[in-house]
Amino acid sequence: MKPVEIKKDIFWVGAVDWNSRDFHGYSLSPRGTTYNAFLVKDEKITLFDTVKADFLNEFLCSIAQACGGTPRIDYMVVNHLEPDHAGCLDAIVERFHPEKIYCSPMGEKALRSYFHDSKDWPVEVVPSGASISIGKRTVQFIETRMLHWPDNMISYIPEDKIAFSSDAFGQNWASTERFCDEVDRAALRSALADYYANIVLPYSPVVLKLLDAMAGMKDLDIEMLCPDHGLIWRGADEVKYALDSYREFALQKPAKKAVIVYDTMWHSTEKMARAICDGLADEGISVRIMSVKHNHHSAVMREVLDAAAVLVGSPTHNNGILPLVADVLTYMKGLRPQNKIAAAFGSFGWSGECVKIITEHLSGMGMELIEPSVKVKNLPSHETYQACYELGKKVGAAINAKLSA
Ligand code: FEO
């Protein structure tokens, strides 16, 4: 890739992965993604993060071009050890022999367990609040533990008002553009929310604390915010937009919206989903019906992020629920969505455990369950369609009451 000078002597030297669809191994990235790394040319040439190992060759070329001659890396800052960001760290160390490799306290632990031959590397742990000089510039470190791994940190260069924010404020977005202000805002907003819902959501309390702490740091004045994935936020207004969006996502304030997630065998549960939808819609609720056969669990979570209610349906299968429903419930539980109303429904042929199992999952996530759930034997009848419709109405009324409280 060609490097891009994003500020005087500060270069994006990352990689664009146009074909990425399986992001981090569990989430979809329909637009591809980028692995952002940044090189600052000062007395000490400093590299912030690397890229996924598959892109090593092009990465080395970008570094050489940015250095404008004989490439050199004096300092290496490792903001995050996940392999899509530290995947070329060993190659960089072998080739350039940096004088220092800076990382957070938890970063060192991760580094040692990812790079088993690193015992002679010049690793220097930088606690939160520490700063180093790289020449005319300083780099300040802010630990962002659990955002989204224990080792993450943000690096800030006050002289340029630029922050390298690691996982925070990123989006999966492969493009020739490098800045957020160059692309369609609605699509970008959706990608930002998608990334938050699938990567950052469980750490929302950490996000809120970080945003409060950042607001209280008098010396922190960010005019360019560079995440490790996607496009760069350029200018004070753009940075504010990113920070405000994160606050909004982290607060998990529900919209007048419900998500119905289901799987079906012979379409009975599917028909129930549509009748429930009618009840919700008649209460003025915007509804997304998402079959798990047609929607990946990460697409479901994108919609769940701002939904007030989650309704889950499955037929009974071998005394359990269908595997894709179990998958989405397991995935959802790990992401710890807060502040949700919920309901369960399903169909059965003989034993009928589906609703009980789904109910246990939903209440295990701390959701406010609306009863009675609806369970239908074989095929819905006029009466059971009505019961589904009533369940939708009841959930809709509960949403309206909650939003107007
Ligand atoms: Fe792509 Fe936690 O990083």
Q: How far is the CA of 131 from the centre of ligand 1 (A)?
A: 24
Atom 1 of ligand 1: nearest residue by CA position = 84
Atom number in ligand 1 closest to CA 80: 2
Q: For residue 228, give the ligand 1 atom closest to its CA.
A: 1
Atom of ligand 1 nearest to the CA of 35: 1
Q: For the chain, state the CA radius of gyration.
A: 24
Backbone angles phi, psi at 321, to 5 degrees: -115, 165
* CA pair distance 203, 199, nearest whole angstrom: 9
Residue 1: pLDDT band with limits 50, 70, 90: confident
Band of residue 30 on the pLDDT scale cut at 50, 70, 90: very high
CATH number of 4-251: 3.60.15.10
User: Using CA atoms, how far apart are residues 174 and 172, in angstroms rounded to an integer?
Assistant: 7
pLDDT at 55 over 90: yes
Q: pLDDT by residue (tens digit) across 127-173?
A: 999 999 999 999 999 999 999 899 999 999 999 999 999 999 999 99
Condensed to tens digits (0 to 9), the pLDDT of residues 58-98 reads 999 999 999 997 899 999 999 999 999 999 999 999 999 99
Structure tokens belonging to residue 252: 């998990």
CATH class of the domain defined by 259-398: alpha beta
Q: Percentage of the chain with pLDDT > 90?
A: 99
Separation of CA 199 and ligand 1 centre (Å): 8
Q: Would you please indicate which residues are annotated as catalytic (active-site) residues?
A: 24, 80, 82, 84, 148, 167, 195, 229
Q: How far is the CA of 113 from the centre of ligand 1 (A)?
A: 17
Which residues surround ligand 1 with Cβ inside 6 Å? 24, 80, 82, 84-85, 148-149, 167, 228-229
Beta pairing, strands 10-12 & 38-40: antiparallel
For residue 23, report the distance from its CA to the centre of ligand 1, in Å: 9
**Looking at the chain, which residues constitute the CATH 3.60.15.10 domain(s)?**
4-251
Q: What is the mean pLDDT of residues 247-254?
A: 97
The two three-digit tokens of residue 152, written as one number: 């993450």
Spatial neighbors of 365 by CB under 8 A, at least 6 apart, are: 332, 333, 336, 337, 340, 342
